[in-house]
Each structure stands twice: as structure tokens, then as C-alpha cells.
């Protein structure tokens, strides 16, 4: 896990933009900044700086271009999330030419910014110590599969567990989301909210928002995030951050 402090002390954003992180570092850093407004902004800033430096020779040759470069830098500093994600995509397209592997015959499509924001970290599941009797067998084995990231098997087991259990509906919804089945995720996360269990409602709103982002329905996603923020619980900060990324600037 990368912290904001490491981002600063290890200069991660600059090295990320420069393509200097090894794949593992890059993945951890991406996982962090997709959910962290502060580090996301830092990446945005580094991209602006990088673009400005690339444009610098033009400026030296042609003073008239200076104004254009400045405008570009100012513009990119306030650019919408969409634009930044497109820039990251652009930067990634350039990687094959620097890496030792042969250049890909077909350039990969630019990543969809909403797809990046729809990325999901599976919420941890702790066996409840004080929540009633021991869980039923299908729920227990479903959650064993879930913990091992076998989401298809988790769905199989959880689908046979008690559908009136908010935990069953919640982890079914999340498992479908992790299998990229946004429609099934929406229906189970809505069912979770309808069951009204105080512990599950807030995360259900958050993951329902992720499912809507996956369906490219930002309006519905923002409604769910607002509902999550209003609960003022564990998901308030990350819900607010995702909301800030989705809100048109």
C-alpha cells in the first residue's frame, strides 16, 4: 500500500509520469491515486509540467509560441478528470517505444476515464464476532471464496445463501462488480440498501456508485455518492473524492 507521504518523499508522481516506476510500483501507485484526490492532483500537475517541458524547444525557436505554451499549461492545470485520464492514456501509448519489448502492432485504445474511476478494491470481510449466530454454510463458503478472490465461485455459493441477509446481498453485489457484471451488481446492491442494515447501507451506496460509473451513468453514481457522504461513516472520504472526480468542473 502506498501512502500520500510516500508519494511526496519518493517523488512518485513525477517518476510515474516519466515512466520510471517498475510495474509493481506503478500498479500500487495507480491503485492509490485513483482514490486519492491529493495524489491524483499531483499526477495532474506533473503531466502539465511534462507537457510544458516538451513544448519548451518550440518556445525557444519561436517566441510567438510562448503564449500558446502558457495557455496550454494553465489549461491543463485546470483540466477535467477526463482530459487528465486521456493524457495518461496518451503517455501509456508511448511506453512500448521505450520498453525493451517490440512495439505493439496495434496501438491499444486509450483507457476510458470512467473505466479507471470504476475500478474497485474488494472491501474486506471480517467474520462477525457479535452479529448473531455463526453464518450459514453457503454464506461461509461463499466468503471463503471471496477472500481468495474467486468471485465466480463466491457468487455461486452466495446465490444459494439466504437472500434476506444484507451481507449476502452486499457481497453478491460486490462480487458481480468485481466480475464486471454491473447490472447484476446494481440489483444486489439496491437490494442491500432496501434491507436497511446500518452496517451495509453506506458501503452499498459507494459500490452502487461504482457500478453506475461502470455503466457510464454518472448522474446516478453521483446520487449514490451523495447518499454515502450524508451517512458520515467510513466511506465518506472516498465517496467525496470520487464525487469530486465525477463532478463536471
The residues that touch Zn ion, with contacts defined as CB under 5 A, are: 4, 36, 38-39
Closer residue to Zn ion in complex, CB, 38/140? 38
The minimum distance between CB 178 and Zn ion, in angstroms, equals: 23
Residue 140 or 237: which CB sits closer to Zn ion? 237
Q: Which is nearer to Zn ion, 39 or 209 (CB)?
A: 39
Q: Measured between alpha carbons, how far is 192 from 205 in angstroms, rounded to an integer? A: 9
Report the number of secondary-structure helices (H) and strands (E) in the chain: 14, 0
Residues 6+ apart with CB under 8 A from 11: none
Nearer Cβ to Zn ion (28/55): 28
Q: What's the residue count for the chain? A: 249
- Cα–Cα distance, 168 to 38 (Å, whole number): 34
The smaller minimum CB distance to Zn ion, of residues 40 and 206, is found at 40
> Cell numbers 517566441 label which residue?
63
Q: Name the CA radius of gyration of the chain, rounded.
A: 21
Question: Minimum Å distance from CB 118 to Zn ion?
Answer: 19
Categorise residue 11: left if φ over 0, alpha if ψ from -120 to 50, beta otherwise.
left
**CB of residue 41 vs Zn ion: minimum separation in angstroms?**
9
Q: How far is the CB of 32 from Zn ion (least distance, A)?
A: 6
Min CB(216)–Zn ion separation in Å: 26
Amino acid at each position: 500500500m502506498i501512502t500520500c507521504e510516500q508519494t511526496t518523499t519518493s517523488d512518485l508522481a513525477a517518476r510515474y509520469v516519466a515512466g520510471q516506476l517498475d510495474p509493481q510500483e506503478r500498479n500500487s501507485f495507480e491503485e492509490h491515486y485513483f482514490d486519492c484526490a491529493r495524489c491524483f492532483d499531483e499526477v495532474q500537475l506533473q503531466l502539465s509540467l511534462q507537457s510544458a517541458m516538451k513544448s519548451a524547444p518550440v518556445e525557444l525557436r519561436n517566441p510567438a509560441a510562448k503564449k500558446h505554451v502558457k495557455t496550454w499549461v494553465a489549461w491543463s492545470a485546470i483540466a477535467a478528470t477526463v482530459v487528465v485520464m486521456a493524457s495518461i492514456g496518451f503517455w501509456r501509448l508511448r511506453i512500448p517505444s521505450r520498453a525493451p519489448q517490440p512495439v505493439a502492432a496495434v496501438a491499444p485504445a486509450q483507457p476510458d476515464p470512467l473505466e479507471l474511476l470504476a475500478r474497485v478494491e474488494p472491501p474486506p470481510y471480517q467474520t462477525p464476532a457479535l452479529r448473531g449466530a455463526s453464518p450459514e454454510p453457503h454464506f461461509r463458503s461463499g466468503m471463503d471464496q471471496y477472500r481468495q478472490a474467486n468471485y465466480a465461485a463466491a457468487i455461486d455459493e452466495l446465490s444459494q445463501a439466504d437472500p434476506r441477509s444484507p451481507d449476502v446481498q452486499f457481497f453478491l453485489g460486490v462480487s458481480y462488480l468485481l466480475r464486471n457484471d454491473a447490472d447484476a451488481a446494481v440489483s444486489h446492491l439496491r437490494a442491500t440498501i432496501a434491507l436497511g442494515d446500518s452496517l451495509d447501507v453506506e458501503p452499498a451506496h459507494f459500490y452502487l456508485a461504482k457500478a453506475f460509473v461502470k455503466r457510464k451513468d454518472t448522474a446516478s453514481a453521483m446520487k449514490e455518492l451523495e447518499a454515502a457522504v450524508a451517512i458520515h461513516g467510513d466511506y465518506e472520504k472516498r465517496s467525496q473524492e470520487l464525487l469530486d472526480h465525477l463532478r463536471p468542473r
